[in-house]
A and B are shown apart, each in its own frame.
Chain A
Amino acid sequence: AQKVTQAQTEISVVEKEDVTLDCVYETRDTTYYLFWYKQPPSGELVFLIRRNSFDEQNEISGRYSWNFQKSTSSFNFTITASQVVDSAVYFCALSEALRSFNKFYFGSGTKLNVKP
């Protein structure tokens, strides 16, 4: 069974619009970590955030915010006032602390196109 689901394959927005990228995960571990990474065309993964399963506080970092809800197994990512430089593929990932030596399970990614 897929552990991380990113249902949105591709999203296109116009600059300055807000956009939310969805991520739903599945795990039996009580201790786990969730991540978001940005992958620009160069290919290098850019770390955005890590959240552990015991911390459900939402987080804001500049134009980025994350909404973690254990009740719905979701970890959504919102970009406020999007910019062209935000165009990239965004991956949500899960790492289970107790099983599998912290292997990362990546979602299929959401390609974000921000048009000027």
Chain B
Amino acid sequence: GAVVSQHPSWVICKSGTSVKIECRSLDFQATTMFWYRQFPKQSLMLMATSNEGSKATYEQGVEKDKFLINHASLTLSTLTVTSAHPEDSSFYICSARVLAGTYNEQFFGPGTRLTVL
């Protein structure tokens, strides 16, 4: 199957700093990437849908100025958590979508664990 990578796999930062998380589709081109957030012992919640070359679409309640998403190429999307605070500590997972026959396959990255001190 197709591989999606995320970098870094974990990061610890101080409150007030910005953190960038990369999501890459390694062996396929993804026109659409999705970003999810998962708090401890909770489900994955979709944050935003990112289409290559256009602005991301954010889910209700997600601050677009805080979570900046850039999808500059068909293999890379980045999520930047600006001015991170402890409440932003979470597990961030991306997924990349590729057309496979009549179905849009979606492959998930391994996740990035963010801890804000």
Contact = CB atoms under 8 A, between A and B. Distances in A.
Interface of A: 33, 37, 42-45, 47, 52, 91, 95, 97, 101-109
Contact of B104 (A42, A43, A102, A109): A102
Interface residues of B, number: 22
Contacts, number: 48
B54 interface: no
Interface of B: 1, 32, 34, 36, 38, 42-46, 49, 91, 93, 95, 97, 103-104, 106, 108, 110-111, 113
Contact of A45 (B97, B103, B108): B108
A39 to B, nearest CB: 9
A81 B106 CA distance: 30
A45 B108 CA distance: 7
B106 A45 contact: no
